[in-house]
């Protein structure tokens, strides 16, 4: 019983105050419902007393009917109200926690997503919260109802015969102790089941997200085998757990029946010995069935309470992830000057940025070039505070980026990535992510500037649903839509992270026009691999092993015998290089 109460308290603490009040209200209604259940016993006793006393007539029947009608009607009302509160509380809690987790992850350092499996995050926000919604509602409802009804009926038995009430109370205590043991058994299997779930989700995500590569390299056998093995292991584990738990749960069922049998036997013995009359005996026997039905419902779902505990634990695990300090100032920048002062940053004990100092003047165009893994993208991410630096400071408009709140900081940055992600929604809603109140004129202008004339040819134009990840569009079309979205945001600083890397010649001209429209009168920071995209930059930073090893204009760097000049002289893209 202590474990069950602990489970309820953990779950209620997990809920928001509003949902907690709903559950508390539902429990109060459940108590009232239990009192109504116990109120049936006097009506039953009254009926038997008159039947066995020889005074049974129509008036007695009507009296008994009226005595029972009131608690039955009230019980139905209380049950309905309690159920509504618990259903709304359970499903709303799961929905709110999904949003809360998503909002929390927004302020978690990007390193967390590199360190943790997408399958785990997906599992918690989908399966775990769905389990919580389905199971918590039923478990809290049936377990609390079963327990409260049982205790109230047992308490009412003391008014009839304390000896039978003590037998019932002893049986209930034995039932609860056995329940504790079942939960202890279930906890042993929980980690194995979670591991199996995670393996299935991970294998499924790999198969679905990597389907193009699997097709290209004919890897169906390998990945189908991995998926099937994970699925079969999960099925075998769940089957083994159920087979081990079924005998235990069967014993639990017999304990509830044994309580009724013991109560009936004691009631008959007391009747034969002349200690109780027949009306009391029959009333107690009926009460034993009420206790049995309440405990049986409680026992059937009580075993699931351990799932609620684990769901809450997993939700709290994510909510306890340390976020970056986001309580900075809501500051409107006057300039878009950026400065790194002796910045160092390590990821997983590996130093990525090593004592970098640089300045980027507002409304200039700069480029980071260097080999893969040299730290170019990380430098751009540190500007927008995707991570916090360990040493030194990053300044925007002379102010440490840590002193901004996240929202006011991000207002200054627009990213155009090499790999664009568009949501499974209309083109209009994808664009309005950048500016919710964008007018039709603003959207049309952004589409025109980004060379998105293809939108007019789509079945529903701007209201066309483009599929998850923009799956119905070509790569060039997705890239141009992402630029239209960036134009709508109209930030002071535009970061182009290899935005033209995978564009075919047919789309390149349109894309370059779109980028020109986006970057007009902006501070532009680019990571690119084509000479013509960096040649006209105001400054080029050459990054190697986390350090700025060269900087200057294209002409200045070509006069030096350094990395940049050697690369340009080779006039080809070497494997592992991106400029």
Mean pLDDT, residues 331-343: 92
- Listed in sequence order, the residues at least 6 apart from 465 whose beta carbon sits closer than 8 Å to its beta carbon are 424, 425, 426
Q: Is residue 579 predicted with pLDDT exceeding 90?
A: no
CA-to-CA separations, 4 to 177, 248, 249, 465, 563, in angstroms, rounded = 11, 18, 17, 47, 67
Residue 364 exposed, middle or buried by CB count within 10 Å (0-12, 13-18, 19+): middle
Same CATH topology for 2-319 and 338-578: the answer is: no
- What's the per-residue H, E or C state across 160-186? CCHHHHHHHHHHHHHHHHHHHHHHHHH
Of 54, 83, 74, 65, nearest to 145 by C-alpha is: 83
Cα angle, residue 576 at apex, residues 573 and 578 outer, rounded to 5° = 55
- What is residue 465's DSSP assignment? B
- Measured distance CA(69)–CA(39) in Å, rounded: 10
Domain limits, the chain:
2-319, 338-578
CATH code for 2-319?
A: 1.20.1560.10
pLDDT, averaged across the chain: 81
- What is the pTM for the complete model shown? 0.65
- Listed in sequence order, the residues at least 6 apart from 42 whose beta carbon sits closer than 8 Å to its beta carbon are 67
Query: Which comes out higher in pLDDT, residue 548 or 195?
Result: 548
pLDDT at 354: 92
164 HSE (CA, 13 A, CB side): 31
Contact status, residue 287 vs residue 39, Cβ threshold 8 Å: no
- Of the chain, the percentage scoring pLDDT greater than 90 comes to 11
Cα angle, residue 562 at apex, residues 561 and 565 outer, rounded to 5° = 80
Lowest mean pLDDT among 113-117, 208-212, 267-271: 113-117
Does residue 328 come out as left (phi exceeding 0), alpha (psi in the -120 to 50 range) or beta?
A: beta
- Measured distance CA(446)–CA(435) in Å, rounded: 12
Mean pLDDT, residues 132-150: 78
pLDDT at 576: 47
Mean pLDDT, residues 543-556: 91
Q: Is residue 23 predicted with pLDDT exceeding 70?
A: yes
Q: Tens digits of per-residue pLDDT, 487-546?
A: 888 889 998 887 665 555 566 667 777 777 778 888 999 886 666 778 888 999 999 989
Q: Tens digits of per-residue pLDDT, 47-83?
A: 888 887 777 777 877 887 888 888 888 988 998 998 8
Mean pLDDT, residues 307-313: 81
Of 265, 284, 249, nearest to 175 by C-alpha is: 249
pLDDT at 503: 55
Q: Is residue 459 predicted with pLDDT exceeding 90?
A: no
CA-to-CA separations, 195 to 42, 120, 527, 542, in angstroms, rounded = 53, 10, 40, 45
Q: Tens digits of per-residue pLDDT, 179-191?
A: 777 777 766 676 7
Mean pLDDT, residues 199-224: 67
Q: Tens digits of per-residue pLDDT, 319-336?
A: 888 887 777 788 888 899
Q: Is residue 572 predicted with pLDDT exceeding 70?
A: no
pLDDT at 368: 92
Q: Tens digits of per-residue pLDDT, 381-437?
A: 899 888 889 899 999 999 999 998 888 888 899 888 777 778 888 889 888 888 888
pLDDT at 217: 55
Residue at token pair 């590996």: 350
pLDDT at 257: 83
pLDDT at 71: 85
Query: Which comes out higher in pLDDT, residue 259 or 190?
Result: 259
SS3 347: strand
Q: Is residue 107 predicted with pLDDT exceeding 70?
A: yes
pLDDT at 457: 87
What is the length of the chain? 579
The strand ranges marked E within 348-429 are 350-360, 365-371, 391-396, 399-400, 413-417
Lowest mean pLDDT among 193-207, 280-294, 358-372: 193-207
pLDDT at 424: 84
The architecture of the domain spanning 338-578 is: 3-Layer(aba) Sandwich (3.40)
Lowest mean pLDDT among 87-101, 228-242, 260-274, 532-546: 228-242
Contact status, residue 178 vs residue 1, Cβ threshold 8 Å: no
């Amino acid at each position: 019983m202590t474990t069950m109460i602990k489970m309820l308290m953990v779950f209620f603490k997990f809920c928001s105050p509003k949902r907690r009040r709903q559950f508390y209200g539902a429990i109060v209604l459940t108590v009232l419902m239990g009192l109504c259940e116990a109120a049936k016993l006097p009506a039953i006793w009254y009926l038997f007393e008159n039947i066995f006393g020889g005074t049974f007539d129509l008036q007695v029947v009507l009296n008994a009917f009226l005595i029972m009608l009131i608690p039955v009607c009230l019980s139905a009302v209380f049950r309905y109200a309690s159920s509504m509160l618990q259903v709304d509380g359970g499903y709303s809690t799961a929905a709110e926690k999904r949003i809360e987790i998503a909002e929390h992850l927004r302020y978690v350092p990007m390193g967390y997503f590199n360190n943790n499996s997408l399958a785990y995050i997906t599992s918690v926000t989908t399966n775990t919260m769905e389990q919580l919604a389905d199971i918590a509602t039923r478990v809290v409802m049936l377990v609390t109802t079963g327990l409260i009804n049982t205790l109230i009926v047992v308490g009412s038995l003391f008014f009839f015969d304390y000896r039978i009430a003590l037998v019932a109370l002893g049986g209930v205590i034995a039932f609860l102790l056995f329940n504790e043991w079942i939960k202890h058994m279930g906890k042993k299997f929980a980690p194995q089941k979670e591991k199996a779930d995670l393996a299935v989700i991970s294998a499924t995500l790999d198969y679905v997200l990597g389907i193009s590569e699997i097709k290209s390299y004919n890897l169906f056998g390998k990945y189908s085998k991995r998926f099937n093995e994970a699925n079969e292991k999960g099925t075998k584990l769940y089957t083994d757990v159920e087979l081990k738990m079924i005998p235990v749960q069967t014993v639990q069922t017999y304990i509830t029946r044994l309580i009724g049998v013991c109560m009936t036997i004691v009631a008959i013995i007391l009747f034969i010995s002349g200690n109780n009359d027949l009306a009391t005996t029959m009333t107690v026997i009926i009460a034993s069935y009420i206790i049995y039905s309440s405990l049986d419902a409680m026992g059937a779902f009580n075993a699931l309470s351990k799932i609620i505990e684990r769901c809450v634990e997993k939700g709290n695990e994510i909510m306890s992830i340390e976020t970056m300090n986001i309580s900075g100032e809501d500051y409107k920048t006057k300039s878009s000057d950026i400065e790194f002062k002796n910045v160092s940053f390590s990821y997983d004990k590996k130093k990525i940025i090593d004592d970098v100092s640089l300045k980027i003047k507002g409304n200039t165009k700069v480029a980071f070039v260097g080999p893969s893994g040299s730290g170019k993208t990380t430098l751009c991410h540190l500007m927008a505070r995707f991570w916090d630096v360990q040493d030194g400071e990053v300044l925007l408009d002379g102010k440490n980026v840590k002193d901004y709140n996240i929202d006011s900081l991000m207002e200054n940055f627009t990213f155009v990535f090499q790999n664009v992600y568009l949501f499974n929604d209309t083109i209009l809603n994808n664009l309005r992510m950048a500016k919710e109140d964008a007018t039709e004129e603003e959207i049309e202008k952004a589409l025109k500037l980004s060379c998105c004339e293809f939108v007019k040819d789509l079945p529903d134009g701007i209201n066309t649903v483009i599929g998850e990840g923009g799956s119905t569009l070509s790569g060039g079309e997705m890239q141009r839509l992402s630029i239209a979205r960036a134009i709508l945001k109209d930030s002071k600083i535009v970061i182009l992270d290899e935005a033209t890397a995978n564009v075919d010649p047919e789309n390149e001209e349109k894309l370059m026009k779109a980028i020109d429209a986006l970057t007009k009168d902006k501070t532009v920071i680019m990571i690119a691999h084509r000479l013509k995209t960096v040649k006209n930059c105001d400054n080029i930073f050459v990054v190697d092993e986390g350090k700025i090893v060269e900087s200057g204009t294209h002409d200045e760097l070509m006069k030096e015998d350094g990395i940049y000049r050697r690369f340009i002289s080779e006039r080809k893209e070497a494997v592992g290089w991106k400029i």
